[in-house]
Structures are given as structure tokens and as C-alpha cells.
């Protein structure tokens, strides 16, 4: 058994809670949130776009925490946490990017723009994808975990840059958290018309969406940690089998 | 009167709200596709690892039985 019965029980409950939360959130998005005045129903993409982007950033922060803890304690569990969190963060960031692109077509009349935010998100995606290449290139467990920990800490710079880019650079991308008052220079020139949160109902829907994605992240994280422990157990057994077979010869 | 202007004048709020519904459906479809794909990869990896685990345990057990006999 790779995980404790308590872990499995919590995981089972969390999986179901996440599924129910997703269904409820979809209901809130489509039946509770008001229709945006200028864009219409397509604005409802925004709730999943922002929710997944936010949770993606949180996932990378938790990966950073795992990296720091591994460098401090040298315990495998922190490396596993970082690995699991980066993988899930990439899924959420991909979702946010795709959703943003689909929203961008009717909003900006193009699927993609090389604006500062979008360029930095692409850099972040590629940087975190390279994390797996780095892990795959190092055979020694301790060395791999140490290098990966340093990498995941440095990689978080891309997330910080993507977050602040719309606040300090001229960008077509709307500023949602912090509102128009804190937005980029583009706001003064009419580039920030859509702030995303025109009513309290919209704000509550966004909060529900973000909480649901956080639950989904937690459930996936536990599933991924369980998977990694299973993978480690299989690798240990493979080493034992190899050692015994070599002992015979 | 210009037909485009006429359309703009008589266009209902419902038309405006639904004008980009195709993109809304596409967006949610692609997002859920990514979610489902990730869940499938988790399930497949877990299934494969469990099979590997059983196989390794079986090999070790057989090896122990052989060495005992």
C-alpha cells in the first residue's frame, strides 16, 4: 500500500466534492451570473479563464514552496509535491490560455496577440514544460530533485512577470484583480474597457469559480501525489528484482 | 434607410447576448477536453503502474519460492 487508508478516504471525498462543486459552479455561471452588456454570453468564458489562471499561478507557487522545502529538508515528499504541482499548474495554465484565446476572437477579433501578458504566459508555459525535460535528463534521484527544486524556484519569476505585466506595460489584456484604477497605461487610451467584474453577481460567480478550481487542484494534487508514490514503489521493486536476477547470474 | 442600420436599430437584446455563443461553446468544449484528457492520463498511468507493481511482486514471490525449494 503506497498511501495510508486515511489519505485514500480523504482523496475519495475530495474527488466527489470537486465533481459536485464543478457542477454547481457551471450552474452558477450559466444561470446566476448576469449577461454582460456588450459581449453577451461569451463573457461567461471569463469565469473559467480567470479561475484556472489564478489556480495555475497558485499551483506554481506551491511548487516553489515544495522546491524551497526540498532544498532545506532534503525530503523526497517535497520534491513529489513540486512535481505534482507543476504538472497540474501546466494543465490549468493551458486551460486559461486556450479559454483566453477563444474569448479573444470575438473580443479582439483575433485568436492571439503577442501582447506583453500573452507573450509572458507563453514563456511561462514553455519554462514549466522544460521542467519535465530537466527531470528526464538527470538519472540520479537526489541530483534531479535538487536541480528541479532550484529550477522551479527560478521559474516562478515568469509567473510574477506575467502578473505584473498588465499593470506596468501597455497591454490589451484586461486587469481583473485590482480593477481599472490599477490598470496599465492602456486604460487611459480606452484599451481596458472590459474589467470583467461589472456587478456583484459577477464577482461572486468568479469567486465560486476560483474556489471550485482550488478544490479541483487539491483533488488532482492528492491524486498525482498518490500516483508518484506508486511510481516510486514500482521503481523500488524493479531495483529489487534487477538486483536478485543479477545475483543469480 | 440602410439595412445595416435597420438591423442595428431592431436587433433585440437576446440577439446581442447570443451573437458569440459559438465561441462560448467552443471555449467550454476545449477546456473540458483538456480536463478530461488529464483525468484520463492519470487513470491510465495509475492502471499501468498497478499492473507493473503486481508483476514485480509476482516475480519476487516466484523467485523466493524457487530459492526456498
With respect to residue A243, please indicate whether it lies within any of the assigned structural domains. no
Q: Enter the pTM of the model.
A: 0.85
pLDDT value at position A191? Answer: 42
Mean of the per-residue pLDDT values for chain B?
Answer: 82
d(CA A29, CA B35): 18
CB atoms within 10 A of CB B25: 14
CA distance A234 to chain B (A): 5
- Does residue A245 lie in a domain region? no
Q: Above 70 in pLDDT, residue B3?
A: no
- Give the span between the Cα atoms of B48 and A238, in whole angstroms: 14
Establish if A248 belongs to a structural domain: no
The reported pLDDT for the residue numbered B66 is 81
- pLDDT at A171 (0 to 100): 73
Cβ neighbours of A27 (radius 10 Å): 11
* Nearest-neighbour CA in chain B from A105: distance (Å): 8
Which pairs count as long-range contacts for A167-172, CB under 8 Å and 24+ apart, including other chains? A169/A116, A170/A116, A171/A115, A171/A116, A171/A117, A172/A108, A172/A113, A172/A115
Q: Give every CB contact of residue A84 below 8 A, 6+ residues apart in sequence.
A: A221, A224, A225, A228
Highest-pLDDT range among A101-105, B10-14, B35-39: B35-39
Q: How many domains, chain A?
A: 1
Check pLDDT > 90 for residue B9.
no
Q: Please give the residue range of the domain that contains residue A29.
A: 5-238
DSSP state of A32: I
For residue B37, what are the domain limits? 3-68
pLDDT for residue A137 = 95
Minimal CA separation from B25 to chain A, in Å: 8
Q: Is residue A197 part of a domain?
A: yes
Distance separating alpha carbons of residues B38 and A201, to the nearest angstrom: 31
Let me know if residue A246 belongs to a domain.
no
Give pLDDT tens digits along chain A (249 positions): 678 899 999 999 999 999 999 999 999 999 998 888 788 888 899 899 999 999 999 999 999 999 999 999 999 999 999 999 999 999 999 999 999 999 989 888 889 989 889 999 999 999 999 999 999 999 999 999 999 999 999 999 999 998 888 888 777 777 766 554 444 444 444 444 445 556 788 889 999 999 999 999 999 999 999 999 999 999 988 988 888 878 766
Number of domains in chain B: 1
Contact B23, A111 (CB under 8 A): no
Q: Which residues contact A21 (CB under 8 A, 6 or more apart)?
A: A211, A212, A215, A216
pLDDT value of residue A228: 94
CATH of the domain at A192: 1.20.120
- Which residues in chain B touch residue A212, judged by CB atoms under 8 angstroms apart? none
- Chain A residues with CB under 8 Å of a chain B CB are 35, 39-42, 44-45, 48-49, 52, 91, 94-95, 98-99, 102-103, 105-106, 220, 223-224, 226-227, 230-231, 233-234, 237-238, 240-241, 244-245
Amino acid at each position: 500500500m503506497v498511501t495510508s487508508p486515511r489519505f485514500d478516504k480523504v482523496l475519495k471525498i475530495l474527488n466527489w466534492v470537486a465533481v459536485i462543486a464543478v457542477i454547481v459552479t457551471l450552474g452558477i455561471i450559466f444561470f446566476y451570473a448576469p449577461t454582460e452588456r456588450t459581449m453577451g454570453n461569451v463573457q461567461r468564458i471569463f469565469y473559467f479563464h480567470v479561475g484556472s489562471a489564478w489556480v495555475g499561478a497558485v499551483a506554481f507557487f506551491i511548487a516553489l514552496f515544495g522546491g524551497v522545502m526540498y532544498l532545506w529538508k532534503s525530503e523526497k515528499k517535497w520534491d513529489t509535491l513540486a512535481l505534482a504541482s507543476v504538472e497540474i499548474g501546466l494543465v490549468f495554465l493551458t486551460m486559461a490560455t486556450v479559454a483566453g484565446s477563444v474569448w479573444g476572437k470575438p473580443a479582439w477579433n483575433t485568436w492571439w496577440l503577442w501582447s506583453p501578458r500573452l507573450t509572458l504566459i507563453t514563456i511561462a508555459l514553455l519554462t514549466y514544460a522544460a521542467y519535465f525535460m530537466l527531470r528526464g535528463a538527470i538519472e540520479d534521484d537526489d541530483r534531479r530533485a535538487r536541480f528541479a527544486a532550484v529550477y522551479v524556484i527560478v521559474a516562478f519569476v515568469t509567473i510574477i512577470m506575467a502578473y505584473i505585466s498588465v499593470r506596468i506595460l501597455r497591454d490589451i489584456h484586461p486587469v481583473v484583480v485590482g480593477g481599472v484604477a490599477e490598470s496599465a497605461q492602456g486604460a487611459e487610451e480606452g484599451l481596458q474597457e472590459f474589467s470583467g467584474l461589472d456587478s456583484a453577481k459577477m464577482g461572486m460567480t468568479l469567486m465560486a469559480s476560483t474556489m471550485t478550481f482550488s478544490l479541483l487542484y487539491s483533488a488532482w494534487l492528492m491524486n498525482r501525489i498518490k500516483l508518484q508514490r506508486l511510481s516510486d514503489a514500482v521503481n523500488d521493486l524493479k531495483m529489487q528484482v534487477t538486483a536478485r536476477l543479477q545475483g543469480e547470474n | 434607410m440602410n439595412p445595416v442600420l435597420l438591423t442595428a436599430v431592431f436587433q433585440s437584446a437576446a440577439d446581442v447576448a447570443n451573437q458569440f455563443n459559438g465561441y462560448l461553446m467552443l471555449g467550454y468544449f476545449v477546456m473540458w477536453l483538456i480536463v478530461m484528457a488529464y483525468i484520463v492520463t492519470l487513470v491510465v498511468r495509475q492502471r499501468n503502474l498497478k499492473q507493473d507493481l503486481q508483476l514485480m511482486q509476482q516475480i519476487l514471490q516466484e523467485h523466493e519460492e524457487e530459492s526456498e525449494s
